[in-house]
Amino acid sequence: MIKYYLLPASSEPVRTPAPIQAVSSVPPKLPLPEIFGGDTEDCRGFLNIFRLHFRSIPETFSTSSAKVTFLISLLKGKALGWVSPYLEFNNPLLQDAYKFLSSLQTVFDKLGRVSAQYAIDFCTLAAETQWDAGALHAAFRRGLADRIKDELVYKDLHDDLEKFIELCVCLDVKYQESKKGVRRSYGLTSYLGEFI
């Protein structure tokens, strides 16, 4: 059997919750990123700040070229030197923000994490030459260290210059890592040799 209980009537009026206020659609004010000069340690953060700007105020950056223009306005030094030929020759890359960000990241983040100053300088100069891919490929290869050229003999080479450069940088990274490993084991061996 179910029992029902009646609660005494209250003299206080029933309170209804306050209506929920709509969240303002005013975009947050983001600080401008610091000017980027091509320092590889700063590249990833610099690009991510731009991605935040593009997402938070899309109406300001409604076109790809507006995004690229905004980004270029905050470049200096090596980074501005890299983009200058694209501006001077009105390169189609300037109309595609995704490709532009990708190229900037490849040159200053992926390549720059290793000591690949040659690759960064080459990409900057290559943009000024207007050479075809074959000529750029040959010129880049000619400037490589002999140890990398030797490694390329055993690799499938890419026709795509960007992929070829990345391959060369990867080979350089492996070389640098193996070189550090040899130094460490040599140092440990010579240290232990004193006690054995």
Residue 73's Cα: distance from chain center in Å?
17
Instruction: Return the ∠ at Cα 95 (arms to 119 and 40), rounded to 5°.
Output: 30
Residues 40 and 111 in one domain: yes
Residues 93 and 150 in one domain: no
pLDDT of residue 180: 63
In sequence order, the 6+-apart residues with CB closer than 8 A to the CB of 165 are: 111, 119, 122, 123, 140
The reported pTM is 0.54
Instruction: Please state the domain count of the chain.
Output: 2
Q: Which domain holds residue 174?
A: 131-196
pLDDT of residue 12: 60
Residues 60 and 102 in one domain: yes
pLDDT of residue 162: 80
Q: What is the mean pLDDT of each run of 10 residues along the chain (196 residues)?
A: 56 60 62 86 88 86 90 92 86 90 81 62 82 88 82 80 82 73 43 35
pLDDT of residue 15: 62
In sequence order, the 6+-apart residues with CB closer than 8 A to the CB of 119 are: 107, 111, 140, 165, 168, 169
**Residue 5 resides in a domain:** no
Residues 112 and 40 in one domain: yes
pLDDT of residue 69: 93
The CA-based diameter of the chain, rounded to the nearest angstrom, is 95
Residues 40 and 83 in one domain: yes
